Amino acid sequence: MNEIKIFSPATVANVACGFDVLGFCLDTVGDEMTIRKVDKKGIFITKVEGFNLPMETELNVAGVSALAMYEAANPDCGFEIEIRKNIKPGSGIGSSAASAVGSVFGMNELLGQPFNKTELTVFAIKGEAFASKCEHADNLAPAIFGGFTLVKSVAPLEVLQIPVPNNLYATIIHPQIEIKTSEARAILPKEVALQDAITQWSNFGSLIHGLHTSDYPLIKRSLHDIIIEPHRSKLIPYFEEVKQAALQQGALGSGISGSGPSIFSLSEGLEQAKSVEKAIKKVYSKTNIEFDVFVSKINTEGIKIIK
Amino acid sequence: MNEIKIFSPATVANVACGFDVLGFCLDTVGDEMTIRKVDKKGIFITKVEGFNLPMETELNVAGVSALAMYEAANPDCGFEIEIRKNIKPGSGIGSSAASAVGSVFGMNELLGQPFNKTELTVFAIKGEAFASKCEHADNLAPAIFGGFTLVKSVAPLEVLQIPVPNNLYATIIHPQIEIKTSEARAILPKEVALQDAITQWSNFGSLIHGLHTSDYPLIKRSLHDIIIEPHRSKLIPYFEEVKQAALQQGALGSGISGSGPSIFSLSEGLEQAKSVEKAIKKVYSKTNIEFDVFVSKINTEGIKIIK
């Protein structure tokens, strides 16, 4: 096998009370990438479609992670990478993460899988760090492992795979505004009230228990973020209206995807996820802001070969 | 059935990163209580052995919780309560909770179980609140439900039962010093660093996952409390020495039981729990402080009838 085509999925990080540690994988939106083994040594970005991204390997997220793995593997061949980018950069659903994992996953397959998923994530962290100036795996882990992942620590990397209830769906709305990462970071409080922190870990522990037991009502009672959301939601117009519209349709919960501007909602069942989609579409249709909205089952497989 | 004898177990609350929400139940130490149906209406404390506690119903924790249930049940009989107190008040392993749950559990059995476990806990909260001036269920829930419990909320009461790995044992040391509740509360920080709070909920979510999957190494990597322990451990002489001695024997983790002064350690297997017992006994034997130490399997049954 000298060529492989892969689907590198969009992901949601910072899942409510699991801020900074919990993420999940989507299945309807993702980048398509073709990785090709070539005789000439090195990593070559040969095509980028969809969005305008650098072709220079060292300036491209997929290139940077590929180089990290290439150095470790030291193979006697090179790789060409073609990227069909479907996830808009800056949308908050793991656009750079999809690029970062796509190249290393594809190369690993062509080399006969010398690396495991954790090792692939470590290489991908280098690409993600190039994009976000910070080593984290919040979007990388769900893209590579699929389902829900808890990144217990980054160095050394420890990823826990949390069970996914069978009938769990996400609705994502992406308001096409720009949120500067620097602003999203600056708005975070340095300190939080102990009582709020206790509430947050109580909810997070309960959420993990709810995912293990497929207890949808408990998931609903746990999907709260009382620490980050009150601050960051100010950067997203109509956040509260979207959330209330989703909850009125019976959604299990809503929150900021990554550092925004996308907003995720979780639902029990496809039908509910679709009625949530309809309701939040209605909210944004009344504004001047362009937006995309879509429904996705939680993707338990993660990144995959499509050809 | 007009008389019942019950075993009301000691419990550990504030389990490391699960401060204020996670507790577990012990099986080797507990109070013995006899509850007797009598014609005369009312609640009567007829005997207290072991420690000097009030005989007046309204001033006795077991009496106060019994009265709360008695009022709700409004039976055409009364109850006598005899208490053989084995759990030393103020030791930090749920002495008042054992009293509070014992009376309501026993009465409920004699009345044909009109109330479920959650309702019993709500009555017991009244007794616990009388003792600690604060409505909480940290020790009550594990005593009534057994195993590990996560008290997601107190009002309304929501208790989650977390699975218990089969081979989990606790070692408890009770240094016989007094910690004033007011001091243990005053020493807590009002605010905590966001980064520390994130670490704590990452650990707590991981601990819940580890308990679900019987992943002992993960439980070990998660059993940390970086928020409360650094403050409260100052109130317990030789806390750090005990903890290090336990960890050197391979314990999964150690922490303050309740608000102290007892210290719990968790181990995989009875043998390890016993070598932890030996090691921490050695630490305290070199001091002038009196102490008790014991090993217990995690008690998955909770409070029970013994006659």
Sheet-wide strand order for B291-297: B253-256, B263-268, B168-175, B291-297
| Nearest residue in chain B measured CA to CA from A152 | B202
Q: What is the mean pLDDT of residues B167-183?
A: 93
| Nearest residue in chain B measured CA to CA from A20 | B198
Model confidence at B51, pLDDT cuts 50, 70, 90, reads very high
The reply to whether residue B197 touches residue A202, judged by beta carbons under 8 angstroms, is: no
pLDDT at B277: 98
Model confidence at A89, pLDDT cuts 50, 70, 90, reads very high
Model confidence at A141, pLDDT cuts 50, 70, 90, reads very high
Residue bearing tokens 């602003």? A183
Q: Which of B198, B220, B222, B232 to mutate to test the interface with A (most CBs of A within 10 A)?
A: B198
Residue bearing tokens 């309501």? B104
Q: Specify the pairing of strand A158-162 against strand A253-256.
A: unpaired
Q: Which of A195, A201, A222, A231 to mutate to test the interface with B (most CBs of B within 10 A)?
A: A201
Q: Specify the pairing of strand A263-268 against strand B42-49.
A: unpaired
Contact B169, A168 (CB under 8 A): no
Question: Which SS3 state, helix, strand or coil, does residue B292 take?
Answer: strand
Q: Is the pLDDT of residue A196 over 90?
A: yes
Q: What is the mean pLDDT of residues B41-70?
A: 96
Domain B168-297 has CATH 3.30.530.20: no
Among partner residues B19, B190, B209, which is closest to A193 by beta-carbon distance?
Answer: B190
Q: Which one of B128, B229, B268, B277 is the catalytic residue?
A: B128
A107 phi and psi angles, rounded to 5 deg = -60, -40
Write the pLDDT tens digit of every residue in B150-174. Answer: 999 999 999 999 999 999 999 999 9
- Chain A with chain B: Cβ pairs closer than 8 A: 108
Q: Specify the pairing of strand B148-153 against strand B78-84.
A: unpaired
Instruction: Report CA-CA distances (Å) from B109 to B9, B10, B46, B297.
Output: 17, 20, 19, 25
Contact A159, A118 (CB under 8 A): yes
Q: Which one of A82, A128, A229, A268 is the catalytic residue?
A: A128
Question: Which residues of B fall within a CB distance of 8 Å from A198?
Answer: 19-21
A237 phi and psi angles, rounded to 5 deg = -60, 140
With vertex at residue A262, the alpha carbon angle to CA A221 and CA A264, rounded to the nearest 5 degrees, is 25
| Structural domain spans, chain A | 3-163+301-305, 168-297
Active site residue A181: yes
Q: How far is B13 from B126, CA to CA, in rounded Å?
A: 18
pLDDT at B132: 83
State the smallest CA–CA distance between residue A68 and chain B in angstroms.
28
State the smallest CA–CA distance between residue A240 and chain B in angstroms.
23
Q: Work out the angle between the directed axes of helices A194-213 and B194-213 (0-180°, nearest 10).
A: 30
Q: Specify the pairing of strand A148-153 against strand A22-38.
A: antiparallel
Among partner residues B193, B204, B209, which is closest to A201 by beta-carbon distance?
Answer: B204
Any CB–CB contact under 8 A between A197 and chain B? yes
Instruction: Report CA-CA distances (Å) from A281 to A238, A277, B230.
Output: 12, 6, 48
Model confidence at A1, pLDDT cuts 50, 70, 90, reads confident
Q: Which two tokens stand for residue B79?
A: 């109850």
Any CB–CB contact under 8 A between A221 and chain B? yes
Mean pLDDT score of chain A: 96
Q: What is the mean pLDDT of residues A168-186?
A: 92
Any CB–CB contact under 8 A between A207 and chain B? yes
Best CA proximity match to B93, nearest among B26, B33, B147, B32? B26
Q: How far is A307 from A85, CA to CA, in rounded Å?
A: 17
Q: Is the pLDDT of residue B183 over 90?
A: no
Residue bearing tokens 């206790």? A198
Q: Specify the pairing of strand B42-49 against strand B78-84.
A: parallel
Question: Which SS3 state, helix, strand or coil, does residue B273 take?
Answer: helix
The reply to whether residue A205 touches residue B150, judged by beta carbons under 8 angstroms, is: yes
Q: How far is A267 from A137, CA to CA, in rounded Å?
A: 25
pLDDT at A204: 98
Question: Which SS3 state, helix, strand or coil, does residue B254 take?
Answer: strand
pLDDT at B269: 98
Q: Which one of A118, A181, A199, A300 is the catalytic residue?
A: A181
The reply to whether residue B21 touches residue A198, judged by beta carbons under 8 angstroms, is: yes
Chain centroid to Cα B279, Å, comes to 23
Amino acid at B293: V
With vertex at residue B135, the alpha carbon angle to CA B132 and CA B137, rounded to the nearest 5 degrees, is 95
Q: Which residues pair with A293 in a beta bridge?
A: A173
Q: How far is B47 from B33, CA to CA, in rounded Å?
A: 10
DSSP A298: B
Which CATH architecture describes the domain A3-163+301-305?
A: 2-Layer Sandwich (3.30)
Q: How far is A134 from A258, CA to CA, in rounded Å?
A: 14
Question: Which SS3 state, helix, strand or coil, does residue A116 take?
Answer: coil
Q: Specify the pairing of strand A304-305 against strand A253-256.
A: unpaired
Strand ranges, E, within B234-273: 253-256, 263-268
Active site residue B128: yes
Among partner residues B162, B194, B200, which is closest to A201 by beta-carbon distance?
Answer: B200
Question: Which residues of B fall within a CB distance of 8 Å from A186?
Answer: none
Q: Work out the angle between the directed axes of helices A61-73 and A95-110 (0-180°, nearest 10).
A: 30
Best CA proximity match to B173, nearest among B16, B270, B51, B289? B289
pLDDT at A55: 94
Contact B179, B235 (CB under 8 A): yes
Q: B3-162+301-305 adopts what CATH topology?
A: Ribosomal Protein S5; domain 2 (3.30.230)
A54: left (phi over 0), alpha (psi -120 to 50) or beta: beta
Q: Which two tokens stand for residue A282?
A: 């209605």
Q: Which of B150, B209, B232 to mutate to test the interface with A (most CBs of A within 10 A)?
A: B209
Q: How far is A135 from B196, CA to CA, in rounded Å?
A: 18
Among partner residues B162, B201, B222, which is closest to A209 by beta-carbon distance?
Answer: B162
Q: How far is B92 from A257, CA to CA, in rounded Å?
A: 42
The two domains A3-163+301-305 and A168-297 share their CATH topology (first three levels equal):
no
Q: What is the mean pLDDT of residues A252-257?
A: 98
Q: Is the pLDDT of residue A181 over 90?
A: no
Among partner residues A21, A188, A227, which is closest to B205 by beta-carbon distance?
Answer: A21
Residue bearing tokens 């070559």? A44
What percentage of chain A has pLDDT greater than the value 90?
A: 95
Any CB–CB contact under 8 A between B189 and chain A? yes
Write the pLDDT tens digit of every residue in B76-101. Answer: 999 999 999 999 999 999 999 999 99
State the smallest CA–CA distance between residue B23 and chain A in angstroms.
12
pLDDT at B133: 81
Q: How far is A117 from A270, CA to CA, in rounded Å?
A: 30
Q: What is the mean pLDDT of residues A161-176?
A: 98
Q: Specify the pairing of strand A3-12 against strand B191-193.
A: unpaired
The reply to whether residue A201 touches residue B201, judged by beta carbons under 8 angstroms, is: yes
Among partner residues A21, A162, A197, which is closest to B192 by beta-carbon distance?
Answer: A197
